[in-house]
Structure 1
Amino acid sequence: MAIQKEELYHLIERLQEQDRKTAFDFLQYLVVRSKGKQGGWNDIDKAEPDVEPITEEELRQMNSTEGFITGEEAKREFGLQVDLP
């Protein structure tokens, strides 16, 4: 199924700003995957799902805005930033 680039652009334009960031990150992942440079993604894809319930502390941390950084900031911090052409 061929998708026209314009259709992708139109969908992205309709997204809210915070969702555009998610779309951007996912598109970066797809580009890296298509180049065969999945790195640890293969291991993650093969891993069994985590069925351990979330603890009260983990839930508190997830709902806290303290110390929150974006995925982009985390990738830069850990040297995982992907530079696209």
Structure 2
Amino acid sequence: MAISNEELYKMIKKLPEDAKKSAYDYLKYLSYRHSRPDWEDIMVMESDEIPLSQEEERQLKNSSEFVSWEDAKRELNLPTDSKS
């Protein structure tokens, strides 16, 4: 089902102010998701010549996909003084 841009504009104009940020975030997500290559495309891409960073090297050497809550908080610069 094709939706015209005009129809989308009308819907956005009708949104209450407090819903516009959510609509913007979702549209941004949809735009980003559809602009990324599929995994099949990624698998056939030529590798680039850019060397891996130390963090990327560390991640490749780590056989576990598990990240502890403490490590995640530290990596995301979240406060660590709260009890979990």
| TM-score category (smaller protein) | 0.3 to 0.5
Who wins on radius of gyration, i.e. which is larger?
Answer: 2
Q: Which has the higher contact order (CA 8 A, sep 6+)?
A: 1
TM-score, normalised relative to structure 1 = 0.42
